[in-house]
């Protein structure tokens, strides 16, 4: 495999992923912490390293609308945003999702105002969970690059035809430089064929997305749901093929740490990276602790999660999101396990909102404090005093 | 110039659509498409046209149509144009939206498309209110007109959108009226021959919304121009050309034919007359000034 190592931030890795995927139309609006990502793409285009049209739009709403238009015109399109920008896209997210335009978008997760805050949390991306997009959460630069390439294969697969969000934490991942294996263009080309699906045919004119009566509306939603339901097997297939070509295996979830874990931490994104360090430390000290990193949030990997938690006593969810009183990841995990044969206790923690530091020491202390009490009933959602 | 002999018998806006009787917008769109012809893709947001085109699986058009979200039509078009450019396809992308979609909810995106110089023909059919939702005021509703949200009559003056578009230094801006079909078609032909952002603003009287008889659509389209309330002009290369009206009709004649202006006082009518005169004077001066300034391309 002719690949080379570069030191890349998460944002730069995403830009490389976009370049290697040969995206043809980029429409984006700057927002911290996404900016260096789209600037890098603009630089690729300016240097002639990426042949693409870059539409400098006036808002995120337009960024996504332009990507939808580009996709209808048969081009491979990309955008990226964060936080408020993602919220401004909300209407267009449904349009892309239920319109089944196979776009890829990087979401550099960031807290939502008020108060103004530019640091990471997952509420922005998770609040879009009902918009019809596949959602991945990455925990390092390598995964960001690889997932963008995979995302186009999944999105454009005829069995799926759904847009994909590739989410990663603002600053902790977007601005942290790491060694990244950058694949050869020719290898990516053979993994990801060119996109060509022009929907608007002059010879056979069609009217796209006009009004439908209730019975037809219901049918369209059912067709959408079929595609959504077929996506997990396609995602799995794409990940296996990626592994066979590039030697990096990704799954809907990643199970890490002790093979006989009594307790599993559950986390996403950079919180999962921190949790890995905590698990290593706890395993060294002899605690039977593991981590289940949720990589695929939509569709939620229910079957994989049910299987992974079998035999464990408790789950400790480190949730970097908030939906009124609970974390969004926590409610998803609880929902996924409701009909499971094996249902461990769930301890819900809210951590790292607005970029509050989640240290591996705090995670270690939290687990040690909890371990003698896992037989007791969980006492509601816990906010850590330090923020993490 | 366009003459009736040149017009194709081909219909791109089909019969049997569900537009209201006397709909000015259907007249305008039918003519626009006759001039543009087959290699055209229409992008349009919610509005009267998106409703009267019919429900799935029907269509009122024999060209491809994309129904965009309300206000995002310009950005959908920007993406389409970019896709066609990178793929080397030559298709005419036409953004077609009403006054609300253009001047209000979609304005930021319209302005951005104009500023970028997207290679799009933008056609705004101006029926002067949100007609498809049952007549509510837009920023292009004229002073004094009653709507569902201005039951006492609008108290603000109509926004001069064509001039605002011209201020974006786009390739071409024109106003047109369904009262003057050949002038309208000439402008569409002209716009189609150019590239970059081209904007045509068409006054399309709306009998149910304006409270006028269905047989008066063309007549009101002419009177609006003749009384000066909707002047016809073109802006190209920074130069404004105002179409002169031989003998001006008083605005009162135009207002009287429409129930939306019912109950206007003499004072209000005089106020409208005065403002219309001032606006026309402003355009005359603009024509003079712009004729003297040569713009570098």
Q: Does A200 touch chain B (CB under 8 A)?
A: yes
Identify all chain B residues contacting A58, using CB atoms and an 8 Å cutoff.
108-109, 111-112
In which domain, by residue range, is A310 found? 253-383
Residues A181 and A272 in one domain: no
Residues A131 and A155 in one domain: yes
Between the alpha carbon of residue A161 and those of residues A5, A153, A154, B77, B110, the distances in Å are 32, 10, 8, 21, 29
B156 is written with which tokens? 């603000």
Average pLDDT over residues A22-49: 98
Q: Phi and psi of A156, rounded to 5°? A: -85, -10
CATH number reported for the structural domain that contains residue A236 in this entry: 3.40.50.970
Instruction: Report which DSSP code applies to A134.
Output: E
CB A332, CB A297: distance < 8 Å: yes
Assigned architecture for domain B4-292: 3-Layer(aba) Sandwich (3.40)
Residues 6+ apart with CB under 8 A from B82: A25, A27, A53, A55, A66, A69, A70, A73, A75
Q: Is the pLDDT of residue A58 over 70?
A: yes
Query: Domain limits of chain B?
Result: 4-292
Q: What is the pLDDT of residue A388?
A: 61
Q: Give this complex's ipTM.
A: 0.96
Average pLDDT over residues A383-388: 75
Q: Is the pLDDT of residue A292 over 80?
A: yes
Q: What pLDDT digit, counting tens, does each position of B254-280 carry? A: 999 999 999 999 999 999 999 999 999
Q: What is the pLDDT of residue A279?
A: 98
> SS3 letters for A155-206?
HHCCCCCCCEEEEEECCCCCCCCEEEEECCHHHHHHHCCCCCCCCCCCCCCC
Identify all chain B residues contacting A200, using CB atoms and an 8 Å cutoff.
41, 64, 66, 80
In a domain, A30, yes or no: yes
**pLDDT, chain A, mean:** 96
B209 is written with which tokens? 């919304």
Identify all chain B residues contacting A212, using CB atoms and an 8 Å cutoff.
55-56
CATH number reported for the structural domain that contains residue A376 in this entry: 3.40.50.920
Residues A308 and A217 in one domain: no
Q: Is the pLDDT of residue A387 over 70?
A: no
At A222, is the pLDDT very low, low, confident or very high (cuts 50, 70, 90)?
very high
B284 is written with which tokens? 């005359």
Identify all chain B residues contacting A92, using CB atoms and an 8 Å cutoff.
69, 72
Binding-site residues on chain B for chain A (CB distance < 8 A): 38-39, 41, 43, 50-51, 53-56, 58-59, 61-69, 71-72, 74-87, 89, 91, 108-109, 111-112, 116
Q: Does A385 touch chain B (CB under 8 A)?
A: no
Q: What is the dihedral of CA A48, A51, A53, A54, to 10 degrees?
A: -50
Q: What pLDDT digit, counting tens, does each position of A333-384 carry? A: 999 999 999 999 999 999 999 999 999 999 999 999 999 999 999 989 999 8
Q: What pLDDT digit, counting tens, does each position of A106-125 carry? A: 999 999 999 999 999 999 99
Residues A333 and A242 in one domain: no
Burial class of A316 by CB neighbour count within 10 A (0 to 12, 13 to 18, 19+): buried
Gap from A155 CA to chain B (nearest CA, Å): 18
At B1, is the pLDDT very low, low, confident or very high (cuts 50, 70, 90)?
confident
In a domain, A388, yes or no: no
User: Cα–Cα distance between B278 and A119 in angstroms, integer?
Assistant: 54
In this structure, how many other beta carbons lie within 10 angstroms of the beta carbon of residue A58?
Answer: 18
Domain boundary among A192, A217, A246: A246
**pLDDT, chain B, mean:** 96
> Residues, chain B, total?
297
pTM of the model: 0.97
Q: Does A253 touch chain B (CB under 8 A)?
A: no
Q: What is the pLDDT of residue B297?
A: 65
3-state helix, strand, coil in chain A (%, to 5): 40, 20, 40
Average pLDDT over residues A71-99: 98
At A311, is the pLDDT very low, low, confident or very high (cuts 50, 70, 90)?
very high
CB B175, CB B203: distance < 8 Å: yes
Residues A192 and A48 in one domain: yes
Average pLDDT over residues A309-316: 97
Domain boundary among A246, A265, A291: A246
Q: What is the pLDDT of residue A193?
A: 97
Among B100, B93, B115, smallest CA distance to A57 is for B115
Q: What pLDDT digit, counting tens, does each position of B121-137 carry? A: 999 999 999 999 999 99
CB pairs under 8 A between A and B: 160
Q: Is the pLDDT of residue B246 over 90?
A: no
Q: What is the pLDDT of residue B251?
A: 98
Q: What pLDDT digit, counting tens, does each position of B16-46 carry? A: 999 999 999 999 999 999 999 999 999 999 9
Residues A221 and A260 in one domain: no
> Residues, chain A, total?
388
For B83, the closest of A59, A73, A207 (CB atoms) is: A73
Q: What is the pLDDT of residue A1?
A: 54
User: Cα–Cα distance between A96 and A84 in angstroms, integer?
Assistant: 18
Number of H helices, E strands in chain B: 11, 8
Q: What is the pLDDT of residue A385?
A: 75
Residues 6+ apart with CB under 8 A from A231: A134, A154, A159, A160, A162, A299
Q: What is the pLDDT of residue B155?
A: 97
At A138, is the pLDDT very low, low, confident or very high (cuts 50, 70, 90)?
very high
Q: What is the pLDDT of residue A298?
A: 98
Gap from B63 CA to chain A (nearest CA, Å): 5
Q: What pLDDT digit, counting tens, does each position of B147-192 carry? A: 999 999 999 999 999 999 999 999 999 999 999 999 999 999 999 9
Among B77, B169, B68, smallest CA distance to B114 is for B169
At B233, is the pLDDT very low, low, confident or very high (cuts 50, 70, 90)?
very high
At A196, is the pLDDT very low, low, confident or very high (cuts 50, 70, 90)?
confident
In this structure, how many other beta carbons lie within 10 angstroms of the beta carbon of residue B20?
Answer: 16
Q: What is the pLDDT of residue A197?
A: 84
Q: What pLDDT digit, counting tens, does each position of A157-187 carry? A: 999 999 999 999 999 999 999 999 999 999 9
Q: How many separate domains does chain A show?
A: 2
Residues A197 and A293 in one domain: no
DSSP SS3 for B126? strand
């Amino acid at each position: 495999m002719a690949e080379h190592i570069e030191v890349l931030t998460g944002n730069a890795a995403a830009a490389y992923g976009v370049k290697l995927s040969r995206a043809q139309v980029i429409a984006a609006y700057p927002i911290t912490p996404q900016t260096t990502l789209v600037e890098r793409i603009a630089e690729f285009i300016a240097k002639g390293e990426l042949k693409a049209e870059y539409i400098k739009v006036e808002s995120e709403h337009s960024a996504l609308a332009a990507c939808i238009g580009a996709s209808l015109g048969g081009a491979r399109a990309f955008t990226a945003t964060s936080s408020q920008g993602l919220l401004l896209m909300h209407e267009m997210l449904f349009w892309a999702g239920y319109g089944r335009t196979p776009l890829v978008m990087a979401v550099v997760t960031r807290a939502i105002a008020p108060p103004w805050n530019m640091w990471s949390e997952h509420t922005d991306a998770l609040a879009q969970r009902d918009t019809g997009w596949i959602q991945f959460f990455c925990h390092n630069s390598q995964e960001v690059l690889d997932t963008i390439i995979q995302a186009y294969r999944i999105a454009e697969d005829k069995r799926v035809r759904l847009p994909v969000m590739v989410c990663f934490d603002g600053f902790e991942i977007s601005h942290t430089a790491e060694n990244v294996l950058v694949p050869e263009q020719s290898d990516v080309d053979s993994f990801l064929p060119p996109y060509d699906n022009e929907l608007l045919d002059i010879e056979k004119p069609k009217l796209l997305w006009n009004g439908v009566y209730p019975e037809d509306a219901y049918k369209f939603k059912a067709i959408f749901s079929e595609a959504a339901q077929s996506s997990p097997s396609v995602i799995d297939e794409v990940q296996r093929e990626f592994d066979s070509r590039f030697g990096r295996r990704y799954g809907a979830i990643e199970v890490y740490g002790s093979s006989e874990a009594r307790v599993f931490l559950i986390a996403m994104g950079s919180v999962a990276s921190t949790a890995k360090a905590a698990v290593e430390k706890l395993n060294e000290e002899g605690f039977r602790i593991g981590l289940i990193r949720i990589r695929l949030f939509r569709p939620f990997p229910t079957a994989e999660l049910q299987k992974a938690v079998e035999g464990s006593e408790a789950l400790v969810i480190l949730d970097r999101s908030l939906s009124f009183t609970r974390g969004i990841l926590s409610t998803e995990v609880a929902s996924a396990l409701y009909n499971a044969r094996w249902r461990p206790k769930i301890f819900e923690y809210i951590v790292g909102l607005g970029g509050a530091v989640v240290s591996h020491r705090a995670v270690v202390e939290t687990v040690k404090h909890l371990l003698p009490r896992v037989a007791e009933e969980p006492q509601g959602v816990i906010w850590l005093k330090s923020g993490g | 110039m366009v003459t009736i002999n040149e017009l194709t018998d081909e219909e791109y806006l089909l019969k049997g659509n569900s537009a209201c009787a006397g709909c000015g917008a259907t007249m305008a769109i039918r003519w626009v498409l006759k001039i543009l012809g087959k290699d055209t893709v229409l992008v349009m947001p919610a509005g009267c046209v998106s409703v009267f085109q019919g429900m799935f699986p029907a269509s009122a058009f024999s060209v491809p149509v994309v129904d965009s979200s309300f206000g995002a039509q310009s950005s959908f078009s920007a993406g389409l144009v970019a896709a066609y450019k990178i793929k080397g396809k030559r298709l005419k992308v036409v953004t077609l939206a009403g006054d609300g979609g253009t001047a209000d909810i979609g304005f930021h995106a319209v302005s951005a498309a104009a500023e970028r110089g997207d290679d799009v023909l933008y056609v705004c059919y101006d029926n002067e209110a949100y007609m498809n939702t049952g007549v509510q005021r837009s920023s292009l509703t004229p002073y004094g007109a009653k709507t569902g949200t201005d039951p006492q009559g609008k108290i603000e003056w109509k926004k001069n959108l064509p001039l605002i578009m011209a201020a974006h230094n786009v390739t071409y801006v024109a106003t047109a009226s369904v009262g003057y079909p050949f002038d309208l078609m000439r402008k569409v032909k002209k716009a189609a021959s150019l590239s970059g952002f081209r904007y045509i603003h068409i006054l399309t009287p709306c009998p149910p919304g304006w409270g006028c008889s269905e047989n008066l659509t063309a007549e009101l389209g002419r009177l609006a121009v003749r009384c000066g309330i909707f002047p016809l002009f073109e802006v190209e290369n920074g130069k404004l050309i105002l179409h002169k009206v031989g003998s001006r009709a008083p605005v009162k004649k135009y207002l009287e034919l429409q129930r939306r202006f019912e109950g206007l006082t003499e004072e209000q009518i005089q106020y409208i007359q005065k403002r219309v005169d001032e606006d026309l004077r402003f355009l005359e001066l603009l024509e003079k000034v712009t004729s003297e300034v040569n713009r570098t391309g």
